[in-house]
A and B are shown apart, each in its own frame.
Chain A
Amino acid sequence: MKAKKLFATFTALCLAAAVGSSLCACGGPETDAEGNVIVTMTIINNQNQNPGWLAMIETANEILKEKGEKVRIAEETVPTESWDDYYMKVNSNILGEIGGTIGRIAESHIPLMVEKNQLRDLTSLKEKLVSEGAFPEEVFGGVAEKDGKYYGIPSGKQHMVLYYNKTLIDEYNAAHPGDAIPYPSGDWDHPSTFAEIRSAAKKLTSGEGASKKYGLSIGPFLAYAGMYAVNSGGDNIFNDKGECVIASDAFYNVYDWFIGMLREDGSVPNTAATSTLDANARFLGGNIAMLVDGIWQMHDICRYTGNYEIGIAAIPVLNDSYTAHTTNFSDQFWAARNSRTPKEDFIALEALMSAEAIRAAAELQVGGIPVRADCVDNYANSFANTKLKDYADVVIEGAKRTINVPYSTYYNIVDQQINNKLTIWMNGGMTTRDFVDFMDETMKKGMEGKL
C-alpha cells in the first residue's frame, strides 16, 4: 500500500513539473541585464573562419551600442563541420522556435530553405543597403532570390584559386636545372594552361605507395567543373537559353584532362589516398605540390607556420585563347520567418552589414572578398603583414572573374547521384565520355523533376 502511494505521488509530481515547466517559460523575447533584446546568430563550427565571424559580431554589437539600439547579437556555434548536420540543427531550431533567429549558411542549402518557406523576406533590407550606395546591386540575388524577393544577404564572395608550394618547385628546379617548372601564373588574363599544369604536376610527382608525393590535387566535382569548362570556351553547365550543355566538347576536354592526370600520370591522389588524409592536410605537409581550393582557407594560410612557402595562382585555362574564370560561392546570412523578433533581426543584420563589422572580418581574411565595395581594400591590405602579401592582388583580381554554381532545388540530388558514379569513373570503370554523358542525363532528369 505504502509503495503504491509513493508511486502515485511520484507520478503526480512528474506530471505537475512537466505542465509547470511548459507554462512558465512562455515569456517574451530574451533580454539581457540592460534590457537589450538578444538576437542569437547561428554559425557553423569552423575554427578557421570563426575568429572572423566572432570579430564581426563583436563589432556589430559595438555599433548597435553606439547607435543606441536596444539590440545585441549573441552567437550560437553548432558543433559540427558538416553543412548537412548544421542544416539539421537549424531546421529543428526553426521548427521548434528555439535557438538562433538569424545565421549564416552555405549557398548550397539556401534553395532548400527557400522552398521550405523557412526564410524571412529581406527585400526591404536589401533595398536599404543598395540605396545607401555601399553595395553593388549584383552581389545580391543568385540562389537567394526567388520571384523578385530576396531571402538572404551575402556574407562575402569566396572563389577558387590555385595554391602552390613554392619551396617544392624550387627544390625540383634546383635538382633539374634544364627542366625548370615555372611558377603557375597569377595573371588571370594569361594563366597557366592545362598542359602546363599537367606537366608540372607530373614532374612534381615522386615516390610510391604510402610515401608518394603528388603533384596536384584537383576536385572533379560538378561545382568546380563549370569554371574549367568556361576556361575552355564552354558554358557553365547551362547555356544562355537555360539548356543543360554538359555533354559538350568543353566538358569532355576538362574531364579527359582530369583522368589523364589521375590515371595516366598518377599525379593526382585518388579516393583511397585522400581517405587516409585529406588534400588540405597533405598540401600543408608537403605531400601535394599544388592544390585547387577556395579562399575560405585564407585565414589559416596567412598564419601558416610550416616549412614551406606558399603561392597563389589563377585557375588554369585550356589554352592561350581563354582567360581564367573562377567559381564563386556566396554564403548567405538568413533570418527565420517565424522569428518573434523580426524588427530586432533586421537591426542586427543591418549592423552586421555595416562597414566596421565587415572590415573586422576582412582584416582577418575571413568571409572572402567583402561585398561592400569600401571594404575590399581593407581585405587586400590585411595581407600585408602575412606571408602571402605578394598574392593579395591575385586574389582580388580573381573576384572580378567569377561565375556562380547554378544551385537549384534539384542540384543537391543531382550532385549526389553524380558523386556516386564518380569513384567508378576515377577507378577506370567508366569511360570519360560515358561519365560526362551520365552527368548530362542526370542534370536533365533533375530539371524535369524525375529524380
Chain B
Amino acid sequence: MKRLKLKRMTKRQIVSVILITIVVMIAAIFCLFPFYWMILNSLKDPDLINQGDTSLFTFHLTWDSYKAVFSYKNGLLWRAYLNSLIIAVTSTIGTLFTSSLAAFAFAKIRFKGSKPIYGLFIATLMIPGQVTMLPLFMIFAKLHWTNTFLPLIIPGVMINTYGVFMLRSFIVTIPDGLLEAADVDGCSWFRKYFRIVLPLIKPALITLGLFSFIGSWNSYMTHLIYLSDESLTTIPLLIAGLKEQAMTGVVWGRMMAATTLSVVPIALIYLSCKKYFVQGIATTGMK
C-alpha cells in the first residue's frame, strides 16, 4: 500500500512539472519568436522575401543582406555604431553619477526643505516627454548645440528624475548605522558615497544603467531633430535611412540585418550583467 501511495504523489508532481514547463515554454516562444523571425529574415535571400516568402525556416541562407548593410554608404554602419556608442556610454555614466548623487542627498542628508523639493522633483515625472521636446529643442538651438551630441547627452545627465526616484528608494534601505559608523571612521560625504553607498546599490545602478543605455541607443525622434550631418548619424537614424521608398518597396532583408546588428551590443551588455539582475540585494552587516 505504501509503495502505491508514493507512486501517486510523484506522478502528480511529474504532471504539474510538465504542465508548468509547457506553459513557460509557450511564453518563451512568444518572447523569442520576433528575434528568431528577425534573424531568419536577415539571412534569407532578399529576392525571396520580396516575393512574399513567409516560411518559418529555410536552408536557403545568405549573407547578402548583411553585406548590403555593411556596404551601405561606404560603411556608414561603423560610424553609426561609434556615434551611438559614444552617446549611450557618456550619457549612461553621467546619468548614473548625477542620479546617485542626487538620490543620496535626498535619502540620507537632512537639509531644510528636502521633502518638498523631492516632491516637486517627482511631480515633474508626470509631464510627458513630447510636451518638453520642442521647448528643449529651442533652448539648444539658441545655444547652438544642434548638430552635436551635447543635446543628446546633457538632458539625461543633468536631470534623470526616474533614476533619482529609483535610486533614492534603494538608498533609503541602507541602515543609518552604517553611515554613522563611517562618520566615526572619519569619512567625508564623498567618501561615504563612493566607498559605502555606491557598492551597496550596485544592482540598482546596473539596472538603471541598462535602461539608460537602451533608451539612448534606441532613441529616434531626439536624434532626428538634433543631428543633421551624415557623419553624426546614429543607429536608429541609419535604420530609418535604410527603410527607403524604393520601387521595390522596403528592402526587408537589409532592414532585418541592420536591426539584428543594432541589437548585438545590447545583448552583449545584458549577458555580461546578467548576474546582477539575478543576484538579490546583499544582506546587510547589521543583525
Segment at the interface with A among B44-52, B84-92, B113-121, B170-178: B44-52
From B51, B143, B224, B249, A78 is in contact (CB under 8 Å) with B224
Contact A96 B141 (CB under 8 A): yes
Q: Once bound together, how far apart are the Cα atoms of A98 and B145, in whole Å?
A: 10
Q: Are A80 and B240 within 8 A (Cβ)? A: yes
Cross-chain contact B138 with A285 (CB below 8 angstroms):
no
A45 to B230, CA, bound (A): 12
- Counting CB contacts under 8 A, is B184 at the interface? no
User: Within the complex, which residue of A48, A96, A285 is in contact with B140, where a contact is CB–CB below 8 Å?
Assistant: A96
Q: Quick check: A79 and B224 within 8 Å, CB to CB?
A: yes
A24 to B143, CA, bound (A): 10
Asked whether A92 and B51 contact (CB < 8 A) given A21-B145, A76-B228, A300-B247, the answer is no
Interface residues of A in 229-245 (CB under 8 A from B): none
Let me know if B245 and A81 touch, CB within 8 A.
yes
Complex partner residue of B246 from A24, A26, A47, A92, CB under 8 angstroms: A47
Instruction: From the candidates A45, A211, A279, name the one contacting B244 in the complex (CB within 8 A).
Output: A45
Question: Does B195 sit at the interface, judged by CB under 8 A?
Answer: no
B-side interface residues, number (CB < 8 Å): 38
In the bound assembly, the distance between CA atoms of A85 and B188 in angstroms comes to 50
Select which of A22, A79, A281, A286 is within 8 A of B143 by beta carbon.
A22
User: Does A95 lie within 8 Å of B134, measured CB to CB?
Assistant: yes
CA distance A331 to B175 in the complex (A): 66
For the complex formed, measure the closest distance between the CB of B229 and the CB atoms of chain A, giving whole angstroms: 9
Give every chain B residue within 8 A of A301 (Cβ-Cβ).
247
Q: Mark A41-67, 1 if CB is under 8 A from B, else 0.
A: 000011111000000000000000000
A: interface residue count bin: 35 or more
B250 interface neighbour in A80, A93, A281, A285, Cβ under 8 Å: A281
Neighbour of A282 across the interface among B52, B143, B245, CB < 8 A: B52
Asked if B146 is an interface residue, CB under 8 A from chain A, the answer is: yes
B241 touches A280 (CB 8 A): no
Is B238 an interface position by the 8 A CB rule? yes
Name B11-53 residues within 8 Å CB distance of A.
47, 49-52
**Cβ contact within 8 Å between B141 and A284:** no
Q: Is the beta-carbon distance between A277 and B50 smaller than 8 angstroms?
A: yes
Contact with B along A258-285 (1 / 0, CB 8 A): 0000000000000000001111111011
Contact of A280 (CB < 8 Å), options: B51, B137, B248: B248
Q: Is the CB of B138 within 8 A of A96?
A: yes
A65 to chain B, nearest CB (A): 24
**Which A residues between 1 and 42 are near B, CB-CB below 8 angstroms?**
1, 3-4, 18, 21-22, 24-26
- Would you call A165 an interface residue if the criterion is a C-beta within 8 Å of the partner chain's C-beta atoms? no
Give me the interface of B with A, judged by CB distance under 8 Å. Answer: 47, 49-52, 54, 134, 137-138, 140-147, 188, 190, 221, 224-225, 228, 230, 233, 237-238, 240-241, 243-250, 252
Besides A47-B244, A278-B249, 10 other A-B contacts (C-beta < 8 A): A4-B190, A45-B244, A79-B233, A79-B238, A92-B134, A97-B141, A281-B50, A285-B51, A297-B247, A300-B248
Residues of A within 8 A of B (CB): 1, 3-4, 18, 21-22, 24-26, 45-49, 76-81, 85, 88-89, 92-93, 95-99, 210-211, 276-282, 284-287, 297, 299-301, 304
